[in-house]
Amino acid sequence: MKPSDEQLALWGASMREIDPASLIPDEDGARVRWFLGDNGTELFAWSHGEAGPHHLQLVFARVSVEWSTQRGLITGTFKTGSTSSGGRYDPYLLSVGQQIDPEVCASARKLLERSVVDAKVTAPLVQALAHASGG
């Protein structure tokens, strides 16, 4: 289900960085930064050296929004109703799409606008979301 603007603002404002010293670089040697917020909101940013991120992933409200220099922007889609697997509700099942959902883009932008994460980290994703939603 699509979260309200108030929920998005609260989740964005709740994001805090997990100690980078506790994270291991990925298999390509990229540094990973991890920001965690309320309601399972997470932002991952991968970069080489002091350069800006080359890959970002935002997870919130059971959707994934990803941007990378290689693939561009990909979003999930908000699900309506509950998700079940084998008769059991699975709160961790994410929606990851192969196209761009404008509603998810708008919600991700609202969340990131209220985020306390350094704008240098989020800038590539915010720009891609703005372009995808026509503004």
pLDDT digits (tens, 9 = 90+) for 87-126: 433 444 444 556 788 899 999 999 999 999 999 999 999 9
What is the rounded CA–CA span in Å between residue 135 and residue 133?
6
- Total domain count, the chain: 1
**Do 67 and 56 meet the contact criterion of CB atoms below 8 Å apart?**
yes
Which of the two residues, 76 and 34, has the higher pLDDT score?
A: 34
pTM equals 0.82
Its domain, for residue 38, covers 5-132
CA atoms in the 13 A half-sphere facing the CB of 10:
9
